Structure 1
Amino acid sequence: MVLIAQSVGALFGILAVIFGAFGAHALKKSFSEEQLKSFETGVKYQMYHAILLIMVGFNFNLDTSQQKYMVYCFLIGTFLFSFSIYGLTISASKGRKWNFLGPVTPLGGLLLVMGWGLLLYQFIGRYF
């Protein structure tokens, strides 16, 4: 599980750099200011959680079910949150907004919150 967390974290990091550069250069011409900000939010959250996944892999054995659920929340939550934002903004810029992705973004956000809650529980559990 450690290898998965770190590998996906590295993959998310690589993609965040690529998508960030793509957004800053290629999408600037076809995106509104609001769409560009939304796209950048997806990139930021993806990078934050890429780094987090790598750090979690270094600091936990990820051998308990709680730790595994935490990693799954971060993995799936990041994918749903960031990639739904990419799909929404790109499709909207083409005039065919994929509205079905609208509910996916908050679901991804909820999974991220759950992951952070499980991380907090891991820290607090060490002292009680």
Structure 2
Amino acid sequence: MKLFVALGSINMLLSVALGAFGAHGLKSKISSEMLSVYQTGVHYHVIHALGLIFIGILSEKLAGTSLAGWAGWLMFAGIVLFSGSLYALSTSGVKALGAITPLGGVAFIVSWLLLAIAAWKSL
């Protein structure tokens, strides 16, 4: 499960870089409403990148269940779908991309649920 620590670390790097780009590169290029949408993407990106690291570290303690692995992959998918769609929506203005965002949100919710179940089973 070191893979999730690596994925989380790479996603932290990306979220910091994308956050800085939004704050400095997009501030004068997109509306304040779209900048807020972009910042929401960055916010959830950071939280769930840390979640991936957390899963990678905890996975040894949650041995004997594949739920932690599923949680990690769903969390990664959530980053791509949720944050990725908000980045694309805010920079392109294509409103249809907003339909993808809830799929990422569901992936986040299910990933946290699976992690909780894995922890419960390991008690």
Count residues with an aligned counterpart.
Answer: 121
Counterpart of 1:26 in structure 2 is 25
2:70 matched residue in structure 1: 69
Given that residues 38 and 89 in structure 1 are in contact (C-alpha distance below 8 angstroms), is that contact kept between their aligned partners in structure 2? Answer: yes
Cα deviation 1:79-120 (Å, max 9, x = unaligned)? 11001100000001xxxx152x22211001100000011112
* CA–CA distance in structure 2, aligned partners of residues 86 and 115 of structure 1: 21
* Counterpart AA for 1:121: I
Q: CA RMSD in A?
A: 1.5
Q: Percent identity?
A: 36
Aligned to 1:39: 38
Residue 123 of structure 1 and its aligned partner are, at CA, apart by 2.5
User: Structure 1: which 5+ residue stretches go unaligned?
Assistant: none
Question: Is 1:124 matched with 2:120?
Answer: yes
Q: TM-score by structure 2 length?
A: 0.91
- Give yes or no for the alignment of 1:5 onto 2:4: yes
The CA distance in 2 between the partners of 1:34 and 1:98, in whole Å, is 13
Q: Give the whole-Å Cα distance in 2 for the aligned partners of 1:57 and 1:82.
A: 21
The 5-angstrom pairing of residues 44-123 of structure 1 reads 44-61=43-60, 64-92=65-93, 97=94, 99=96, 101-123=97-119
Runs of 4+ in 1 over 3 A off after TM superposition: none
Distance 1:70 1:9 in 2: 13
TM normalised by structure 1 equals 0.87
